[in-house]
Amino acid sequence: MNMQRIEVKEGNFNLKDYQEAYKQFDWEDVKKEFSWSETGKVNIAYEAVDRHAENPDKADQDALIYSAPDREEHVTFSQLKKSSNQFANVLSSHGIEKGDRVFLFMPRSPEFYSAFFGILKVGAIAGPLFEAFMEQAVRDRLEDSEATMLITTPELLERVPYSELPHLKQIVLVGEDPETNEEGFIDFHKEMNQASESFDMEWVDLEDGMLLHYTSGSTGKPKGVYHVHNAMLQHYQTTKWVLDVKEDDVYWCTADPGWVTGTSYGIFGPWLNGVTNVIVGGRFSPENWYKAIQDHGVTVWYSAPTAFRKLMSAGEEAVKPFDISKLRHIASVGEPLNPEVIAWGLDAFKLRIHDTWWMTETGAQLICNYPAMEMKPGSMGKPFPGIVASIIDNEGNELPPNQMGNLAIKAPWPSMMRAIWERPEKFESYFLNGWYISGDSAYYDEEGYFWFQGRLDDVINTSGERVGPFEVESKLIEHEAVAEAGVIGKPDPERGEIIKAFITLNEGYQESDELLEDIRQFVKKGLSAHAAPRELEVKDKIPKTRSGKIMRRLLKSWELGLPTGDLSTLDE
HEC string for 306-340: HHHHHHHHHCHHHHCCCCCCCCCEEEECCCCCCHH
Among 355, 458, 471, 473, binds ligand PRX (CB under 6 A): 355
Q: Applying CB under 6 A, what is the total number of residues that bind ligand PRX?
A: 22
For the chain, the 3-state helix, strand and coil shares in percent, each to the nearest 5, are 30, 25, 45
Q: Is 391 in the site for ligand PRX (CB under 6 A)?
A: no
Q: Is 334 in the site for ligand PRX (CB under 6 A)?
A: yes
- Whichever of 79 and 263 has its CB closer to ligand PRX, that residue is 263
Cα–Cα dist 322/427, whole Å: 47
- Whichever of 297 and 439 has its CB closer to ligand PRX, that residue is 439
**Is residue 431 classed as helix, strand or coil in its secondary structure?**
strand
Closest CB 355 distance from ligand PRX, rounded Å = 5
Among 123, 266, 270, 336, binds ligand PRX (CB under 6 A): 336
CA 164 to chain centre: 28
User: Which stretch, 52-60, 130-138, 433-441, 523-531, contacts ligand PRX (CB under 6 A)?
Assistant: 433-441
- Whichever of 89 and 461 has its CB closer to ligand PRX, that residue is 461
Terminal Cα-to-Cα distance of the chain (whole angstroms):
44
Q: Is 234 in the site for ligand PRX (CB under 6 A)?
A: no
Among 439, 456, 537, 545, binds ligand PRX (CB under 6 A): 439
- Whichever of 178 and 383 has its CB closer to ligand PRX, that residue is 383
- Please check whether residue 383 is in contact with residue 351, taking contact to mean a CB–CB distance below 8 angstroms: no
Q: Is 309 in the site for ligand PRX (CB under 6 A)?
A: no
Query: What is the DSSP pairing of strand 223-228 with strand 419-420?
Result: antiparallel
Backbone phi and psi for residue 349, each to the nearest 5 degrees, phi listed first: -115, -10
- Whichever of 383 and 543 has its CB closer to ligand PRX, that residue is 383
Q: Is 455 in the site for ligand PRX (CB under 6 A)?
A: yes
Among 201, 331, 380, 551, binds ligand PRX (CB under 6 A): 380
User: Which stretch, 126-134, 328-336, 419-427, 550-558, contacts ligand PRX (CB under 6 A)?
Assistant: 328-336
- Whichever of 243 and 519 has its CB closer to ligand PRX, that residue is 243
Q: Is 358 in the site for ligand PRX (CB under 6 A)?
A: yes
Give, as one character, the DSSP assignment of residue 482. E
- Whichever of 89 and 263 has its CB closer to ligand PRX, that residue is 263
In terms of DSSP H, where are the helices of 282-429?
286-296, 305-314, 316-319, 339-348, 424-428
Q: Is 461 in the site for ligand PRX (CB under 6 A)?
A: yes
* Footprint on residues 249-308 left by ligand PRX (CB under 6 A): 260-261
Give, as one character, the DSSP assignment of residue 1. -
Q: Is 417 in the site for ligand PRX (CB under 6 A)?
A: no
Greatest alpha-carbon span in the chain:
73
Q: Is 369 in the site for ligand PRX (CB under 6 A)?
A: no
Q: Is 436 in the site for ligand PRX (CB under 6 A)?
A: no
Binding mask 40-79 for ligand PRX (x = CB under 6 A): ----------------------------------------
CA distances from 463 to 350, 402, 524 (A): 25, 28, 16
Q: Minimal CA–CA distance to 344: which of 356, 332, 358, 357?
A: 332
Q: Is 226 in the site for ligand PRX (CB under 6 A)?
A: no
- Please check whether residue 219 is in contact with residue 142, taking contact to mean a CB–CB distance below 8 angstroms: no
207: which residues sit within 8 A by CB, 6+ positions away? 228, 229, 230, 418
- Whichever of 215 and 276 has its CB closer to ligand PRX, that residue is 215
Cα–Cα dist 381/276, whole Å: 27
Reported as type and span, the H/E element at residue 61 is none
Q: Is 373 in the site for ligand PRX (CB under 6 A)?
A: no
User: Which stretch, 153-161, 285-293, 437-445, 470-478, contacts ligand PRX (CB under 6 A)?
Assistant: 437-445
- Please check whether residue 134 is in contact with residue 148, taking contact to mean a CB–CB distance below 8 angstroms: no
Closest CB 405 distance from ligand PRX, rounded Å = 15
Could you tell me where the beta strands, DSSP code E, fall in 221-292? 223-228, 250-253, 276-280
* Footprint on residues 527-546 left by ligand PRX (CB under 6 A): none
Closest CB 31 distance from ligand PRX, rounded Å = 24
Q: Is 215 in the site for ligand PRX (CB under 6 A)?
A: yes
Cα–Cα dist 427/367, whole Å: 22
Among 111, 249, 335, 458, binds ligand PRX (CB under 6 A): 335
Q: Is 338 in the site for ligand PRX (CB under 6 A)?
A: no
**Is residue 42 classed as helix, strand or coil in its secondary structure?**
strand
Rule CB under 6 A: which residues touch ligand PRX?
A: 215, 260-261, 333-337, 355-360, 380, 438-440, 452, 455, 461, 466
